[in-house]
Amino acid sequence: MRDDLRLRHYAAEEAQPLVDQLVDVYLDAHANDGPLYNAERYRKQLAAHMPRPGWELVAATVDDELVGYIYGFPLAPNTRWWDGIQEPVPAGFTDETGRLTFAISELLVRRAWQRRGIARALHDELMSSRTEERATLLVRPDNTIARHAYTSWGWRSVGRLQPQWANAPTYLIFTRATRG
């Protein structure tokens, strides 16, 4: 880990001026992942996610350059996050209160900065600040590196989900307690 790596928490209002940089990091991290990963779709995603109560971003910078970030939000009682689950889950698994589950939407590091512990530092920093009982995230089944990283960080796969938006891929659902 670099001594000059800086991590900073942002609420949505504070992160708004960073949107162009967030998009740039997203495009860099997903450069070879296909047409789904484009600026227009991602800007819409950010515009839909940032106003959610409890939205939080942790940014990693080196010499004032944004090299990565993680963001998420607590799932509201009326969330559509779980729409599209493909396997049976335990009774009550998808019942949200606004305080039960924190959903990590993105964990991204610029390609030139990957494999330096930055993703783990971002993950640990965000998770250490959460008060919800559990967290969840979605991972493409073909993203072996991410799957192995999350598993080593205490996450476990609990099923599959295909979001209800056009051309959505199927993801693996990962969960873990927020502490530990």
Lowest mean pLDDT among 1-5, 47-51, 129-133: 1-5
Q: Is the pLDDT of residue 157 over 90?
A: yes
C-alpha dihedral, 138 to 140 to 146 to 151, nearest 10°: 60
Domain boundaries, the chain: 5-177
Is the Cβ–Cβ distance between 43 and 19 less than 8 Å?
yes
* Mean pLDDT, range 16-25, rounded to an integer: 97
* Mean pLDDT, range 136-164, rounded to an integer: 95
Angle at 56 between CA 58 and CA 161, to 5 degrees: 100
Which CATH class, in words, describes the domain spanning 5-177? alpha beta
Q: Is the pLDDT of residue 33 over 80?
A: yes
Looking at residue 68, the DSSP 8-state letter turns out to be E
Q: How does DSSP assign 122-175, residue by residue?
A: HHHHHHHT--SSEEEEEE-TT-HHHHHHHHHTT-EEEEEE--SSTTPPPEEEEE
- pLDDT band for 2, please (50, 70, 90 cuts): low
Percent of the chain past pLDDT 70, that is, above it, reads 98
| Model pLDDT, residue 166 | 79
Looking at residue 102, the DSSP 8-state letter turns out to be E
**Token pair recorded at residue 73:** 């939000």
> Exposed, middle or buried, 101 (CB in 10 Å: 0-12/13-18/19+)?
buried
- Amino acid identity of residue 90, one-letter, is P
| Model pLDDT, residue 24 | 97
- pLDDT band for 15, please (50, 70, 90 cuts): very high
Mean pLDDT over each residue of the chain, to the nearest integer? 94
Instruction: Summarize pLDDT for 80-134 with one digit per residue, the tens.
Output: 999 999 978 889 999 999 999 999 999 999 999 999 999 999 999 999 999 999 9
Q: Is the pLDDT of residue 1 over 80?
A: no
